[in-house]
Amino acid sequence: MRTPLDILSDQFGHNAFRPGQAEIVDYIVEGRNVLAVMPTGAGKSICYQVPSQLLDSPTVVISPLVALMDNQAAGLRANGVAVASIHSGQSREENVEQWKMITRGEAKLLYLSPERLMQPRMLSAMRALNPALFVVDEAHCVSKWGPAFRPEYAQLGQLKDLFPNARMAAFTATADEATRKDIAEQLFKGNGEIIVHGFDRPNLSLTVAPLSNRTTQLLDWMETQKGQCGIVYCLSRKNTEKFAKTLCDAGYTALPYHAGLSSETRFENQERFLAEPAVIIVATIAFGMGIDKSNVRFVYHMNLPSSLEAYYQEIGRAGRDGAPSETGMIYALDDIRMRRQFISEDGSDSEHQMREHRRLDALLGYCEAAKCRRQILMSYFGESSNPCGNCDVCQNPPVLIDATEAAKALFGAVEQTGQRFGATHVVAVARGDETARILQFGHQDLPVFGTSKQPKPWFQGLLRQAVALRYLNVNMEAYGRLELLPKAKLVLNSSATFMCKDPAVKRPTSKKVIRAADRYTLDMNAEDTDLLSRLKALRMDFAKQLGKPAFVVFSDATLIDMVSKKPQSGDEMLAVSGVGPSKCERFGEAFLAEIAG
């Protein structure tokens, strides 16, 4: 009888499972339901692809994106694994033939979108197929508490009732405790294993800076990233176009990606990002899910993400190869206002909105951290961490000041104007600026008027921290007016002090240049570096012939192992990590010839 390790070695060319994989594989083979939360790049797909080859009936993989399905299917076929996929990107005839492959037993893996799977006709046909395993990829989409809830995913909760003999396996890189429990309840009524394999990604540096000038800050950041591949996230389609042009004008290869572009343009830009070196994608969050590119060296957020879960998932697209990679974010008070507005207008019930506001509060606390950012991030996901030394707070500890008197002026301005005005107005009242609006309402006669003479930018920094630290609330249902929270009232009546980071201190927006090319190649001599470049060029030739991303041929890690071992025969090539019999037969001769020179 073949074992999981046999499949891993014979089909995928690996001699051992990565940490955490074997346990999940064993649970699935034994017939248990599993929810696995694993960091991006930890090898989630192997955890269900290996069992699929050992089970008697087919495995159905539910995936949210056509591109993700196609890339995974192409990778499996390159390893000699028969696989079928049915989606809107194929003709009806192609989809019918793919279905026949499954019904004839020619393939054991079938990829489907949730929308197509949950159609009555498909579910009826699926009963005759009698699947052994349903796999839910990007499982955080199942939970209404998750950061990327998709209503069509909610229907997947019916599968356990419709197919009681099938086991369920769900995978995600991002889920806090409440989301994990909800996913398990939705998919298998809580009757299964929940496995969490570490959220920490110590190779990612973490940097957050308040907004001063988006264009300047972006270009400053890019000075440390020349020649690197990365993703820049923007909140709007308009800004993706704007900042892609800004980077192109500055000499970078930058491409926009958002839902407003044609599918052809999106596909072309995505393929260039996957295939070419030093390409930067400037995108909305429409980009990224299922992007299998191991050497993304940076992720930069031009605006505040929606939550710590969303932020963690988005930065997780950097450094999947384990090499040092950088993440940065800039944000402003206006970002907070917009995020509150999005939550208030999303049409969900009050309980869901309250939870989303709390998620945003947690993200704001992270942004205004006065201690190690990684500790805050890990604590949010229920893990502990020592100070990391790899975030901006650890490397440049903030200067804390007692800003109680200025805070009293600010909070007093909010209180004495009736908690009816936004940031610009209350700062002007506290500073004593006789604006037309202040004169219109007679606010120059308030006792608090002009009680603090700090510069306007200083006050704006103080206000941003007061909102982030929950002294003040931005009420989006009342056009963004500021309201006092209990902690602010304690400051006003002198029952508490207001300690904060000094708004006058300009924190560095970029660090020293880190050449994070690849931790594996740092010790390579010139000859090996040249060989690696030639192998990558050969890999690219094959990828273009296939019309698929380069990783479908061989991963970077496989090429690096190839350089290290310098195989001279087919048997030696099979000893390279990631080279199975199928890939060896298909590509081995050409790579052996290149190594031989």
Contacts of 260 (CB under 8 A, 6+ apart): 237
Report whether pLDDT(515) > 60: no
pLDDT of residue 379: 82
121 phi/psi in degrees, rounded to 5: -65, -40
pLDDT of residue 141: 84
Q: Model confidence over 346-385: pLDDT tens digits?
A: 777 777 788 788 788 889 889 988 889 999 888 888 788 8
Q: Model confidence over 466-484: pLDDT tens digits?
A: 988 889 988 766 667 899 9
Is the CB of residue 358 less than 8 Å from the CB of residue 174? Answer: no
Report whether pLDDT(509) > 90: no
Q: Any idea which of 75-89, 161-175, 284-298, 415-429 has the lowest mean pLDDT?
A: 284-298
Report whether pLDDT(271) > 70: yes
Share above pLDDT 70 across residues of the chain, in percent, rounded to a whole number: 94
pLDDT of residue 148: 58
Q: Model confidence over 25-70: pLDDT tens digits?
A: 999 999 999 999 987 777 889 999 999 999 999 999 998 877 778 8
- Total count of residues recorded for the chain: 597
Is the CB of residue 205 less than 8 Å from the CB of residue 319? Answer: no
> Closest by alpha carbon to 136, among 117, 123, 121?
117
* Residue 423, SS3 per DSSP: helix
Q: Any idea which of 1-5, 446-450, 519-523, 572-576 has the lowest mean pLDDT?
A: 519-523
Intrachain domains 4-196 and 204-395 with the same fold: yes
411-425 mean pLDDT: 94
Greater pLDDT, 470 or 239: 239
Q: What does the longest C-alpha to C-alpha distance in the chain come to?
A: 89
Report whether pLDDT(290) > 60: no
Report whether pLDDT(508) > 70: no
pLDDT of residue 177: 80
Report whether pLDDT(518) > 60: no
d(CA 35, CA 183): 8
Contacts of 228 (CB under 8 A, 6+ apart): 278, 297, 298, 516
DSSP letters along 232-299, please?
A: EE-SSHHHHHHHHHHHHHTT-EEEEE-TTS-HHHHHHHHHHHHHSTTEEEEE-TTS-TT---TT--EE
d(CA 12, CA 18): 13
d(CA 174, CA 509): 27
Share above pLDDT 90 across residues of the chain, in percent, rounded to a whole number: 54
Contacts of 188 (CB under 8 A, 6+ apart): 33, 160, 168
Is the CB of residue 186 less than 8 Å from the CB of residue 157? Answer: yes
The domain locations on the chain are 4-196, 204-395, 400-501, 526-596
Is the CB of residue 117 less than 8 Å from the CB of residue 126? Answer: yes
Q: Any idea which of 59-73, 130-144, 221-235 has the lowest mean pLDDT?
A: 59-73
pLDDT of residue 562: 95
d(CA 169, CA 181): 14
Give the other-Cβ count within 10 Å of 466's Cβ: 27
pLDDT of residue 510: 45
Selected from 3.40.190.10, 3.20.20.80, 1.10.10.10, 3.30.530.20, the CATH number assigned to the domain covering 400-501 reads: 1.10.10.10
Per-residue confidence band for 285, with pLDDT thresholds at 50, 70 and 90: confident
Instruction: Give me 83's structure tokens.
Output: 């696989």
Per-residue confidence band for 498, with pLDDT thresholds at 50, 70 and 90: very high
User: How many CA atoms are closer than 13 Å to the CA of 349, on its beta-carbon side?
Assistant: 3
pLDDT of residue 402: 95
Selected from 1.10.3720.10, 3.40.50.300, 3.40.430.10, 3.90.1310.10, the CATH number assigned to the domain covering 204-395 reads: 3.40.50.300
d(CA 514, CA 509): 14
Selected from 3.40.50.300, 1.10.10.60, 3.20.20.220, 3.90.1010.10, the CATH number assigned to the domain covering 4-196 reads: 3.40.50.300
pLDDT, the chain, mean: 88
Contacts of 176 (CB under 8 A, 6+ apart): 145, 309, 380, 381, 382
pLDDT of residue 511: 47
CATH class of this structure's domain 526-596? mainly alpha
User: How many CA atoms are closer than 13 Å to the CA of 505, on its beta-carbon side?
Assistant: 11
DSSP letters along 373-385, please?
A: HHHHHHHHTT---
190-202 mean pLDDT: 87
Q: Model confidence over 115-125: pLDDT tens digits?
A: 899 999 999 99
Q: Model confidence over 526-537: pLDDT tens digits?
A: 899 899 889 988
